[in-house]
Amino acid sequence: MSVLLRLATLYAVYLLAAISPGPAVFYVMRAAVASRSLGLRAALGVATGTTLWVGVAAFGLAAALKSSPALSAAVRGAGGLYFLYLAWRLALAARAPDADPAALSRFAPRGGAAAYAQGVATNATNPGTALFFTGLLGLYRVETMPPAAQLAAYAGIPVLSLCWYGSLALAFSSARLSRAYLRLRRPLDAGLAVLFLALGLKLIWSLVRSGV
């Protein structure tokens, strides 16, 4: 397989994983409904989290999560508690009546800085993301590519991340999609609350099983 084909396939696999519904996708959508600015800040935060984990995978730091029980437990614990917090917030939003204007922004970030920080946390507190990128980069043997191709791989994924999540923020900040989302707000928020609850409990349970 040529280097260009390996790069193109790597990008395609990442995009398929990013496009699939998950915490980052739903978070950017929810922030964008509140305002385009918040959505774009959230998208930038998620892309920053992607960049951090690509760096972790590229420099082999993912191995530290496996070799250091304390570090691994800290990351899993932080991620679990954060997801449980998001589940609680979304459950409250799902129960609020649609006629209550405050309910529409209850889960929305309080400002641009909060949108960015929560976007970073949505990606950065998920240790599975590090393992995903470690496996993806290893699968296509990025370390054996020429230096320019390695740079394209390591830099290209964060750029794709920013483009995808930024496009998502722009799309869901439009009036038409916002209205469509708001019609489905309560069931979507309830479903996302269950998703975050499951992720949080899974991470916490992994700590209990490991005896940490």
pLDDT band at residue 101 under the 50/70/90 scheme: very low
pTM above 0.85, yes or no: no
User: Looking at residue 45, what is its pLDDT?
Assistant: 94
Considering only CA atoms, which of 192, 203, 200, 204 is closest in space to residue 91?
192
pLDDT band at residue 108 under the 50/70/90 scheme: low
Report the number of distinct structural domains present in the chain: 1
The DSSP string of 74-134 is HHHHHHHHHHHHHHHHHHHHHHS-TT-HHHHTSSS-SSHHHHHHHHHHHHHT-HHHHHHHH
The predicted-structure confidence for 168-199, as pLDDT tens digits, reads as follows 999 888 767 766 766 777 787 788 788 778 87
Q: Which of the two residues, 77 and 99, has the higher pLDDT score?
A: 77
User: With contact defined as beta carbons under 8 Å apart, do 10 and 152 qualify?
Assistant: no
Domain of residue 184 covers: 3-210
